Amino acid sequence: MPVDIIALRRILQSCRTIAVVGLSAEWHRPSYFAAKYMQSHGYRILPVNPRYAGSQVLGMACSARLEDLDEPVDMVDVFRRTEDVGAIADSAIALGAKCLWQQIGVVNGEADARARAAGLDSVMDRCVKIEHARLFGGLHWAGVNTGVISARRLG
């Protein structure tokens, strides 16, 4: 089920604590870039990745699983394979999250339906960073629309 701009804006304004499942500690990975962007815009990022459990990612302690988090979560942002989302959705529901967000390329309709039936907002196949930038004017953050890069010829 597609999410309209009004719903996306509401979700991004109300969901200030984001558990990022599959967050990589490698700076060049999309999950790291998106989480760093959101963190720089005032969101609390909770890394979830068994590979880095016990260490820090983006200055935050990384948990192996959503169930290991010890604070409330507003949004569960999923950077995992589509087939992994069902169990993640169940964990998000159990945690009392407000939103399940499946990143670009991640589309699990069954998980989406379960999340919605449990009262969560659910977004599929969209990037939280791109949507935030589009709706709240952050496209310049990555060098877009800054005037630094131009197609105009000099002189």
Q: What angle do CA 134, 135, 140 make, to 5 degrees?
A: 45
What pLDDT is attached to residue 153?
57
Rounded to the nearest integer, the mean pLDDT of the chain is 91
C-alpha gyration radius of the chain: 16
Looking at the predicted structure, is the pLDDT value of residue 17 above 60? Answer: yes
Looking at the predicted structure, is the pLDDT value of residue 155 above 80? Answer: no
**Extents of the domains making up the chain:** 5-142
What pLDDT is attached to residue 74?
98
Q: β-pairing, 60-61 with 56-57? A: antiparallel
Q: What is the pLDDT of residues 81-123, one digit of tens each?
A: 999 999 999 999 999 999 999 999 999 999 999 999 999 999 9
Looking at the predicted structure, is the pLDDT value of residue 147 above 50? Answer: no
What pLDDT is attached to residue 2?
74
Can you tell me whether residue 47 is helix, strand or coil?
strand
18: DSSP letter? E
The CATH number of domain 5-142, selected from 3.20.20.70, 3.90.700.10, 3.40.50.720, 3.40.190.10: 3.40.50.720
